Amino acid sequence: MKFFVDTADVSEIRAMAQTGLLDGVTTNPSLIAKSGRKMAEVIAEICALTNGPVSAEVTATDFDTMLAEGRYLRAIAQNVCVKVPLTEAGLRTCRALADEGTKVNVTLCFSAVQALLAAKAGAAFISPFVGRLDDIGQDGMQLIADVVQIYRNYAFSTEVLVASVRHPVHVLTAAKLGAHVATMPPATIRALFKHPLTDRGLEAFLADWQKTGQSIL
């Protein structure tokens, strides 16, 4: 499974990249707004920190402007993946950009039939939002199971990018279901490292070693 970090905070992305575990980055207009910087500058800087895809989202809602924005964003760097919403205009834009050789991430997916449409439109990634479904009492991970099954049935090349990930259990379940990617805020990625028994075991090992009075170096 690939790990993407979901942020526009360049310092966080740099720190995640240094772990060697980062495969890409996702951003959205809300995350860019929090940075207080111009979108093109932020995306260019992020693209220089990773060789993986960096999702940069259009803000228009009509086809003509979406397409123009998508073409502008993809010109920022070779690893830009244009992000479009799962609307009729968004999927039309996806098809046009995909036909031009641009990777497209279709976002705000909340049903399996929406995901099917995105795959048919040539999306490189589909982003189902599991946490937001959980918030309204639906089973977000069931959506992932349904999409993975449909894509396997028809051998679609679209990758399932699990979004709105809230905790490590989401990641575990997505990996067991065979999702291709999970995109997470930095705090959620850091939570994957943690286990109380790991901390307890390390403390015991270090205490025993300290008693020997030795040093490896």
Tell me which DSSP letter residue 129 carries: B
Tell me the C-alpha distance between 53 and 140, whole Å: 24
Give alpha helix (H) positions in the chain.
10-17, 29-35, 39-47, 63-74, 88-99, 112-120, 130-135, 140-154, 168-177, 186-192, 196-212
CB neighbour burial string for 142-158, b if at least 16 within 10 angstroms, e if fewer: ebbbbbbebbeeeebeb
Q: Given CA atoms 72, 76, 78, 83 in this order, what sign does their dihedral have?
A: negative
Which of 2, 83, 176, 194 is labelled catalytic? Answer: 83
Q: Is 83 designated active site?
A: yes
Residue with tokens 């942020």: 7
Longest Cα pair distance anywhere in the chain, in angstroms? Answer: 71
Structure tokens at 74: 């993809």
Burial of 120 (0-12, 13-18, 19+ CB in 10 A): middle
Conformational region of residue 136, where left means phi above 0, alpha means psi within -120 to 50, and beta covers everything else: alpha
Residues taking part in catalysis: 83
